[in-house]
Amino acid sequence: MALSPIARKGVVIAAVILALYFFLVPAAVRSVSAPPPAAVPADSSFEQHKDSKPSRPYPPPPAKNQKPIEDVSTKPLRERLKYHFPYDIESKFPAYVWQTWKAAPGSGDFADRLRPFEASWTEKHPGFVHEVITDDAAPHLINYLYASVPEVARAYRAMPLPVIKADFFRYLILLARGGIYSDIDTKALKPATDWLPADFDKASAGLVIGIEADPDREDWAEWYARRIQFCQWTIQSKPGHPVLLDIVATITEKTLQMQSSKTFLKGDALQKSIMDYTGPGIWTDTIFRYLNNKDYFDFSDRKTNVTYSDFFNLEEQKRIGDVVVLPITSFSPGVGQMGAKDTDHPLAFVKHEFDGSWKPEDDKTRKKHD
């Protein structure tokens, strides 16, 4: 019997629905109804299972080395710095390169003579984060990093000269973040991975510094702040190192005291005081103070303190505790004095060009550029 058009249309729709059912509904659902839940044995009870071990301990064990939250806001400055910037000697040296300048490299105000120096750090450290912090950005970064220790930022703002702020900034960024700080007029000759011997355990070092000056002459004090002077134009550290904590605290306390008593020096007197205020003089003193601190070093086998003579005529890396001191060739190659070798020496790592654009024009140590 022939179907009417309406009936044929209904048969087609029914066939389509049936086909979709077989395609879209899983076979297991079509063929078998869900099994009933398993019967619980009659003797099953909480008492029977109460002694079984849980899948993980409860309450959870405390995290390793977790420190309890405490209010440190009223503690002395050094204790707060130590709390907020802990030192872990076994950590890796952070892969940062920090530099500062008046303008960013991407701006038209960045000095062309400095571009090859700045680029050398990126070229030699391709896996590192390389940041050039401008003078305008530095205060904001310090406010952020030291929000929990606000007097540090106050001290930075109170400093009377850009060069003093630049000195202070290098200690601040290394204490908070670690890595490498190097002046913008330095050229990287070798990557930092080559600064220490290949077989050296980097988990036993937290600070890498170089000798700036080893002047074996009677008039050394006319030229340098210390008989052995550690350079601070290039420093590598792990965050929280005690040397950095000490120098940040010392400079902060001294600056705020001078601000309060209105005893900041001015003119030539201020320029001459920089070496001992924030420069290599106080940097060198802080390092020696650390190397002779019984809180950090075992003196049972020592007969004398660490002194200048321990670093006279140094020709290879020397480690004392967690501090590695590089010879003068490493950060001052090619200076032609004090035993420094040339830039092609295996231990020549960083070349300082002594641009010194912050110095007065009549400063005898400033290098002129054509």
pLDDT tens by residue, 44-90: 433 444 444 444 454 556 666 666 667 888 899 999 999 999 999 99
Residue 118, domain member (yes or no)? yes
Please state the domain count of the chain: 1
Confidence of residue 158 (pLDDT cuts 50, 70, 90): very high
User: pLDDT value at position 82?
Assistant: 97
Percentage of the chain exceeding pLDDT 90: 71
- Mean pLDDT estimate for the chain: 85
66 burial type by CB count under 10 A (0-12 exposed, 13-18 middle, 19+ buried):
exposed
Residue 257 in domain: yes
**Residue at 163 is within a domain:** yes
132 within some domain: yes
Whether the pLDDT of residue 187 is over 90: the answer is: yes
Phi, psi (rounded to 5 degrees) for 349 = -110, -35
Task: Tell whether 47 is covered by a domain.
Answer: no
| Residue 290 DSSP one-character state | H
Please report whether residue 104 resides in a domain: yes
Residue 325: which pLDDT band, with cuts at 50, 70 and 90? very high
pLDDT at 299: 85
Range of the domain at 292: 77-352
Distances, alpha carbon 60 to alpha carbons 28, 50, 55, 98, 164, in Å: 42, 19, 12, 40, 50
Give 129-146 pLDDT, tens digit per residue.
999 999 999 999 999 999
Instruction: Give the pLDDT score at 6.
Output: 56
**Each residue of 223-271: pLDDT tens digit?**
999 999 999 999 999 999 999 999 999 999 999 999 999 999 999 999 9
Q: Given this model, what pLDDT does residue 366 score?
A: 38
Alpha helices (H) in the chain, listed in sequence order: 5-24, 27-31, 46-49, 77-84, 115-124, 138-145, 150-158, 162-176, 242-261, 267-277, 280-291, 328-331
Which amino acid is it at 221?
A: A
Q: How many CB atoms lie within 10 A of CB 109?
A: 9
Q: Is residue 21 exposed (0-12), middle (13-18) or buried (19+ Cβ within 10 Å)?
A: exposed
DSSP 175: H
Please tell me the predicted confidence (pLDDT) of residue 305: 94
Task: Give me the CATH number covering residue 156.
Answer: 3.90.550
Q: Is residue 25 part of a domain?
A: no
Does residue 363 lie within any of the structural domains?
no
Whether pLDDT at 8 is above 80: no
